[in-house]
Structure 1
Amino acid sequence: MSTGTRDSGLELLLGSDGWVTHHENGISYSLDATKCMFSWGNRSEKLRMGALDCTNEVIVDLFAGIGYFVLPFLVKAHAKLVYACEWNPNAVIALRRNIHDNSVADRCIVLEGDNRITAPKVVADRVCLGLLPSSEGSWVTAVRALRTKGGMLHIHGNVNDSEEVAWFDHVVQSITSISRNEGLSWHVTIHHVERVKWYGPHILHLVVDVKCAQI
């Protein structure tokens, strides 16, 4: 939409409101379907994030939505604390409800607004950048959010299947350049590549786990 958000076009024909709840992997996701949309295609990635051991980790999710990755990090991966950044007010309402309903509100700080302004700095062991088609506008924000010693960036993107290697190189070179500009001495490498789904003809939804280690 012109606001920069993805809004629902669903029209309510019967009932008093559009709130629905989806149960997945022991987590409940609630949303007003007339205002927000549920993302089905990233189920495998939610499972992968939930399978991580994030005990004692602080995580920053720059595009929290209704809690797609925030909840797996908290409920399944047992993160110590998650900063959840989101600028869609309707998604924020659902996010606050979901962290409450899943009994993890005490370990989640919701930061409403543009993550380039609201995101914390030098606190994170891990940063999630789950925005399609590209999260590049917040790569500087992600680097600034990581601790000085570095950490892990989970960078999502839509990439033509013939341009995967070029995109991997672009990610590494960009994060390396940003870190140097921020006065950080990091060795930046791609730790893992996850091919989540086909987004369209020849367009893959990819996630690269980018490891930033202090030299």
Structure 2
Amino acid sequence: SLLSSFPGTYSVYPPLLLLPAHAFAAPPWLALLAALQTHPRRLAQLYASLAASVHTTHIALNAPIPLQTATTHDAANILRSPVALTPLHNAFGPAPTPATQTAPSAADFGDAFWCTARQNGIAQTWAPLYTMFSRGNVAEKARVLRLPSVRGAVEEGSCSAVDLYAGIGYFAFSYRRAGVARVLCWELNPWSVEGLVRGCGMNRWGVERMAVGGEEEEGGKEVPEAEFLVFQESNEHAGGRIERLRDRLPPVRHVNCGLLPTSRGSWRTAVGAVDPGLGGWVHLHENMAVGEMREKAEEVTREIDRISGEEGRGRVRLEHVEKVKTYAPGVMHCVLDIWI
């Protein structure tokens, strides 16, 4: 009964076994775990056996990334921190604090537990107590790798891409692997930035953490030769920085806006980032009601067209709506590919 009631889906991110939140919700497991609460050594042996069965050393229970923080009910979880992750077996490092979440030191990074994933031949790494990872995005990462508009822009000549919600490199890495010369990344979460930097090293890509002390940091300076330029700041600053760097970078042909439930706050920045001479594509991630996807896509396209007009750009064209995965019952995570 234990085996038959164990979930058939789980994730292995070496050296982590990540179980769904309901993994031990069935009565046989509830009874066993209740009995083992007074025998911690036997409970540890059970977890160790589970981990060893899939060649891992650590176990945790997963839960969705909350839209609000646990400590401040009305505050948006802008760092997208996985506060509901529950470690079960082995050491995950010190528990997160407000200080380590927002201003970690090199020692904090070193003390934390890190895990890895390899998707489409690309390595990614993150500290699961501090950073999210969604295995359901693997198909969209693969789509970026083979996207005709990306391949075409690369074949036309050296080009750049911008990721306004870069995370640990979820989609940014796919642009580089597809041949894009430079990828400019914006990310607020310092743990995600650290994961992105470490991931670049694992994939043998050069990366530079850019100074973000002031609005004029880029003026007159040589742009680093690294394939990835990473800005740890709000993407509200991206438009100005891109303009000041534009004449020293390959043309920006693709802009990724990968925030859910909506990336609306970055649309104007995305439109402005696209090369004004050659044009390019914005890839907007949105949650859409299944029965209203066509209407929603048309609404988004009209808004991008309006912004494009205000920014002095040309007309826009919706090229494709990709259904990435089910986000919730009746809600689909989609990506809109829009030419500007």
Q: Give the RMSD, CA atoms, in angstroms.
A: 1.5
> In the alignment, does 2:252 pair up with 1:147?
no
Question: Which residue of 1 is the match for residue 90 of structure 2?
Answer: 14
C-alpha deviations, 1:40-89, integer Å up to 9, x for none?
111100000012325222100011000001111112x0111100111111
Q: Is the CA contact (8 Å cut-off) linking 1:29 and 1:67 kept in structure 2?
A: yes
3-state SS, counterpart of residue 305 of structure 2: helix
C-alpha deviations, 1:135-190, integer Å up to 9, x for none?
00010000111111321011110000121122111111111111111122x12111
The one-letter code matched in structure 2 to 1:20 is: C
3-state SS, counterpart of residue 41 of structure 1: helix
Question: Which residue of 1 is the match for residue 204 of structure 2?
Answer: 103
> In the alignment, does 2:133 pair up with 1:57?
no
Query: 1:92 deviation in Å?
Result: 0.7
Q: Is the CA contact (8 Å cut-off) linking 1:62 and 1:86 kept in structure 2?
A: yes
Query: 1:6 deviation in Å?
Result: 1.2
Q: Is the CA contact (8 Å cut-off) linking 2:164 and 2:255 kept in structure 1?
A: yes
Query: 1:118 deviation in Å?
Result: 3.1
Query: 1:14 deviation in Å?
Result: 2.0
Structure-2 separation of matches of 1:132 and 1:180 = 25
Choose 1 or 2 for highest CA Rg. 2
Q: Is the CA contact (8 Å cut-off) linking 1:172 and 1:190 kept in structure 2?
A: yes
Query: Mapping of 1:90-129 within 5 angstroms?
Result: 90-105=191-206, 106-119=226-239, 120-121=242-243, 123-129=251-257
Given candidates 298, 307, 329, the residue that maps to 1:169 is: 298
Structure-1 separation of matches of 2:262 and 2:136 = 16
**Any gaps of 5 or more consecutive residues in structure 1?**
none
Given candidates 95, 118, 121, the residue that maps to 1:26 is: 121
Query: Mapping of 1:177-192 within 5 angstroms?
Result: 177-184=306-313, 186-192=314-320
The one-letter code matched in structure 2 to 1:193 is: V
Which one has the bigger strand percentage? 1
Structure-1 separation of matches of 2:296 and 2:131 = 30
- Per mean C-alpha deviation after superposition, the further-off stretch among 3-12 and 28-37 is 3-12
C-alpha deviations, 1:115-139, integer Å up to 9, x for none?
0113423651110111110000010
**Any gaps of 5 or more consecutive residues in structure 2?**
1-68, 70-74, 94-111, 207-225
- C-alpha spacing 1:18/1:73, structure 2 compared with 1 (3 Å): same
Structure-1 separation of matches of 2:176 and 2:192 = 18
The one-letter code matched in structure 2 to 1:95 is: L
Which one has the bigger helix percentage? 2
Structure-2 separation of matches of 1:167 and 1:124 = 27
Q: Is the CA contact (8 Å cut-off) linking 1:112 and 1:118 kept in structure 2?
A: no
